[in-house]
Amino acid sequence: MQQRAIADFTVSAIGLGGMPMSIEGRPERDQAIATIHAALEAGVRHIDTANSYHLLAGEVGHNERLIAEALSGWGGDASEVLVATKGGHLRPGDGTWTRNGDPAYLKQAAKQSALDLGVEAIGLYYFHRPDPAVPYAESVGALVELLAEGVIVRAGVSNASVEQIKLADELLDGKLAAVQNQYSPAYRQTEDTLEECQRRGIAFMPWSPLGGIRSAKSLGDDFAPFHAVAAAHGVSPQQVALAWELAKGSTVIPIPGASKPASIIDSAQAADLVLTAEELAALG
């Protein structure tokens, strides 16, 4: 699989999003483990998770523990895999999402995530979502302290505007490693943040890169140009969407979610799908 080297790290050009394995509609544990193993066998070396990827109130860290279990039971070298997690977005267990950008909470949450992932230091840790009740600089300040304390190796922000990216990079002394924002054929409003990351050499991880759990399957029907290019290459429209994202910039690393091995095996092939300039122009 094609790799992407950004700042001090190199990962597979396609990652695996862990959310569908732990929230509503999640599969049985064995299927989830098989999905993670299928990703690793396909060459995926980047897995995205969050402490909030769980269903019920008492299950914080469900997805992190699942990934840790899958990695420890895998025959390959787990040290090659960048596992990224996040804090600051919570699920009380009633189907809603809440926010907590309090630095004390974020620091405690990161330490718990390290325990749940079974690692001494988290390879990449994101502040999940801005909290209007807490100044952004204070939340990012927790990342600065977590780096200094060695709890995390790299810091990222998610759901961030261009202004927030600039502020976070400044507070982190130019060491903001990654930005994770929503971006897909159906959701392009964040293209300014993708471009800002490209200018600064910061990794840009599109979340819901296929349009989200509920829309991912219908991508080809809703987006005719993606369907046409897919037919020409004899591949799925989902692969075309991911290859189109990769072509948007050398620091882009999509993280398609999956709850079945077949989904991530198909998505992983997007890393090696080359689209022509004419095709990319048709996709916009």
Ligand X SMILES: NC(=O)c1ccc[n+]([C@@H]2O[C@H](COP(=O)([O-])OP(=O)(O)OC[C@H]3O[C@@H](n4cnc5c(N)ncnc54)[C@H](OP(=O)(O)O)[C@@H]3O)[C@@H](O)[C@H]2O)c1
- Residue ranges that bind ligand X, judged by CB under 6 A: 17-20, 48, 128-129, 158-159, 180, 207-213, 216-217, 236, 238, 255-260, 263, 266-267
Q: Minimum distance between the CB of residue 18 and ligand X, rounded to whole angstroms?
A: 5
Structure tokens at 2: 């094609």
From the candidates 53, 126, 136, 183, give the one annotated as an active-site residue: 53
- What's the token pair of residue 178? 């990654």
- Closest approach of Cβ 213 to ligand X, in Å? 4
53 is catalytic: yes
- The three-point CA angle 119-120-123 to 5° equals 70
Q: Minimal distance in Å, beta carbon 209 to ligand X? A: 5
Cβ closest to ligand X, residue 37 vs residue 129: 129
CA-CA distance, 54 to 93, in Å (whole number)? 8
Q: DSSP per residue over the chain, as a string?
A: --EEEETTEEEESS-EE-GGGTSTTPPPHHHHHHHHHHHHHTT--EEE--TT--SSGGGTTHHHHHHHHHHHT-SS-GGG-EEEEEESEE--SSS--EE---HHHHHHHHHHHHHHHT-SSBSEEEE-S--TTS-HHHHHHHHHHHHHHTSBS-EEEES--HHHHHHHHHHTTT-EEEEEEE-BTTB-TTHHHHHHHHHHT-EEEEESTTS-TTTGGGHHHH-HHHHHHHHHHTS-HHHHHHHHHHTT-TTB----B-SSHHHHHHHHGGGGPPPPHHHHHHH-
Q: Rounded to the nearest whole angstrom, what is the least distance from the CB of residue 150 to ligand X in the complex?
A: 24
Q: Between residues 148 and 247, which has the closer beta carbon with respect to ligand X?
A: 247
Number of CB atoms found within 10 A of residue 282's CB = 15
Query: Which is closer to ligand X, CB of 262 or CB of 281?
Result: 262
Minimum Å gap between C-beta 81 and ligand X is: 14
For ligand X, give the closer residue by CB, 56 or 262: 262
Smallest distance, Å, CB 120 to ligand X?
A: 23
- Record the tokens describing residue 74, joined without a space: 């895998």
What distance in Å separates the CA atoms of residue 138 and residue 222, rounded to the nearest whole number? 41
Residue 92 vs 149, nearer CB to ligand X = 92
Nearer to ligand X, 14 or 281 (CB): 14
Catalytically active residues are 53
